[in-house]
Amino acid sequence: MNKIRVLKNPVQEYAWGSKTVIQPFLGESGSRYKRIAELWLGAHPLNPSSVLINKNWEPLDQFISRDPELILGKGVSDKFFCRLPFLFKVLAADRPLSIQVHPDLEQARKGFEQENRTGVSVNASNRNYRDSNRKPEILFALTPFVALKGFRKVEEIIQLMGKAFYPVISTEIAQLKKMPDASGLKRFYSSIMTMDRSRKELLVSKAAGIDENQAAADPAFSWMIKLSREYPGDTGMVSPLIFNLLHLKPGEAIFLNAGEPHAYLHGAGIELMGNSDNVLRGGLTFKHIDVMEFLKITNFNPEPVSLISPQRRGDSEMVFLTPAEEFELSMIMVDDGSPFQSDLNRSVELMICMEGKADIIDMRSAEYFALKKGNSVIIPSAVTGYRIKGNATLYKASVPLSS
């Protein structure tokens, strides 16, 4: 329990995944034919990582349950009921993900209990709440990354939606002008998402009529056209005109709180979130969509988008701080002249090597592990200290010490 351990991590294959990004991490020749969307590092009961112990693989959630205080640290174990509170992912999107929101803790508990009472299997395709946890998350761009995040300013929505869909939604636009606040925006967006079939067809027809010059002049329109082709007949295609459209550069990061609507459109990134798989989908997917539950959870306050500014911690570590109590993301870059030395006061950590090669050395036992691209480890809280040397870029998930 007080040793660094090697991890083996499961992947998720979804239609929007990539055939090239995550495959090099796996060392499996057959994987190049699969659309792998996510590599999971964590102890979520639906798909936990495995820990190598005496040449045998043990599910990470079971490993932690054997001595949560030593592995997680007493403070983390007490606060999060003996469970690892985060889920760490490498994400690769070749096609757009669904429009989605995540619940807060109270909403997750109520939703999970309600679906349990009604007898919906936790693995059912029509399940909204697969666990009772909230799911704040940070997304760190590994490549140029396109995303939708939160509502635009109301005046922007009126201008863009009017340009694309007048007079089909003239009534809704007039109402939004009279009530340009969160309640008016909820009424406007709900009307768009729940409109009847004949009006939806008119909306789709208007989108198809956007000319190339208009699309070229504003990426919101070009993305709307892409989405309408990807998901014919889905009113979620209007999302780039309603939500903030972001083009993240490699190294930039955003934080998504409960209730904030978002969609990842294209790119690869590191994702770190609360240990939950709760997703309420509103469109742009062939998976289960529950528009009414999506609207119930969504925060309709337009807010400007801000990027997370990393803070340097020592010579080799950059930390991306968020309001989340469950996790903290760090990027560690080591070279021949700049090794990494861990703090003595630390929580449990999961780490993955994304580029290069390095050795991680347990300072107490002098045991070391050679890391290369795709290798990952868990470093229990009981490990008194460790050092990383070599030439590599690694990403570390931990729990903030305040937790």
Active site residues: 281
**What is the enclosing helix (H) or strand (E) of 146?**
strand 145-151
Cβ-based neighbour number of residue 117 at 10 Å: 8
Radius of gyration of the chain (CA): 22
Q: How far apart are CA 98 and CA 279, in angstroms?
A: 10
Cβ-based neighbour number of residue 124 at 10 Å: 12
Instruction: Report the SS3 class of residue 113.
Output: helix
Asked if 316 contacts 332 with a C-beta cutoff of 8 angstroms, the reply is yes
* Token digits of residue 305: 């988008």
**What is the enclosing helix (H) or strand (E) of 341?**
strand 340-341
Sign of the CA dihedral running 27, 32, 34, 39: positive
Q: How far apart are CA 338 and CA 151, in angstroms?
A: 42
Q: Cα–chain-centroid distance for residue 272? A: 6
Residue among 320, 373, 7 nearest 139 (CA): 320
